[in-house]
Structures are given as structure tokens and as C-alpha cells.
Amino acid sequence: MQTLDKELSRHVEVARTEPVPVERYGVPWVWIVSHPLWVEVDRLQSFVPDDHALVALREAIDSTLAYEGSVLNELTRECTSGVDARVIMRAWLLQIVYSLADPKRVREGLGYNMLWRWFVGFLLRSEPLPEARAFIHDIRMVSAHPQAIDIVHRCLTHGALADVDTEEFSINYGLLHTLRAHHHLEARRMEVPDPVLRTRREHGGQAVAG
């Protein structure tokens, strides 16, 4: 520290080209790092191999999401984690393509997997992750939304994976098809009026004995 106090300007000049360690009582304490170097180290893009399957998948999902502004704005308002619904959608997509049983595994993975963190939409390694409980809640909320299910289904089934090395993934198509089938069935039920109510309408609102 005394050396740093005496020779600060020299150390800062050196730090413009390479990190400078600073010791306190003979123990490493801090590093002096130039801003350009820190930005380069902190950027998640530096962890992304150009030929990784998640890169192509990110391009595919972003192309799909680009046409879903109204749905995503609605979902963002419902999110409790404070992040954009696009981040939640990509996080849920990770759960689907890696066949993870629970969104908790996605949140845990984002803690150490910088490629995943980049995929969902973070830019810097130093960016704080959303609070775990709220983030997991939002993934579950999105995974129950009919339009969100349709968006992910289109991304994974309409040629988006044509140029992707799918050996990286273990896509849970079964879960995706089950969710779509459930919501389509619910939609048909809503379209077909209850027989008793239909009979009442046909007879001026009076119940008709069988």
C-alpha cells in the first residue's frame, strides 16, 4: 500500500497495458485493471464459441421473438423477477432443449455456465442474476402460457434447428407437445358452450326438463 501511495501514477500507467497486483501486508489485495481490459474480460461474448449449437439456436429464437412484441410485453408485465420476458423465454428454452426436469436447474446453471448466461440475454459476467425464487416462478408462468408455448414450439419444429448440431441437445419434445395439446383442448372446451346453457338460450333462458 505504501508503494502504491508513492508510485500510483506509475502503476496506473503500467495498468493501461496489463493488470497490476497490489499487496497489503504481503497478501494480494486488489488488482489495477484498465477499463478496456476489464470490459473485454467481463464480456460474456468471450465465452461463446462461434460454432456452438446454442449460437444458432439463439439466432433462431430471436428471429421468432422479433415478431411477438405484444405477447412479450404482456408477459414482461407479469414477470415478478424484474427481467424482460425474452430472457425468461430463452431460459425456458434451455430447460426444454436440455430436458431439465425443473427450472431450478436452469437457474443453478446460470450461476456458473457463462455460455448459458449469454444465451438468455446477459451481456456481462458481472451482471447480477435475478432473485432465484422469482426467476423460477417466471419460467413456470411462461411455460403455462399458450402463446409462449406456441413460440417455443415454432422455434424448435419449423426448420430453426436445420443448421444446428442437435447432438448437443436432448430436446424434450414430449413435454412441449403435451403442453400444446392441453391448451388446445382447453381452447376447444371454451369454444363449445355447455349443453345446459345452450338449451336455455334456445328456449328463452328457461331450463328445460329432460
What pLDDT digit, counting tens, does each position of 111-148 carry?
A: 999 999 999 999 988 899 999 999 999 999 999 999 99
**Whether residue 21 has pLDDT greater than 70:** yes
Strands 27-32 and 20-24, bridge-based pairing: antiparallel
Local structure of 208: helix, strand or coil: coil
What are the pLDDT digits (tens) for 141-183?
999 999 999 888 888 876 656 556 567 888 888 877 787 776 5
Model pTM score? 0.71
* 112 vs 12: which has the higher pLDDT: 112
Cα distance between the two ends of the chain: 94
- DSSP letter assigned to residue 126: T
- DSSP letter assigned to residue 146: H
pLDDT of residue 16: 77
**Whether residue 209 has pLDDT greater than 50:** no
Q: What is the mean pLDDT of the chain?
A: 80
Phi, psi dihedrals of residue 164, rounded to the nearest 5°: -105, 140
Q: What is the DSSP string of 21-77?
A: EEEETTEEEEEE--HHHHHHHHBGGGG--TT-HHHHHHHHHHHHHTT-HHHHHHHHH
CA dihedral 51, 114, 148, 175 (to 10 degrees): 80
**Whether residue 210 has pLDDT greater than 50:** no
d(CA 140, CA 39): 34
Element (H, E) at 175: helix 173-191
- Residue pair 64/151 in contact (Cβ under 8 Å)? The answer is yes
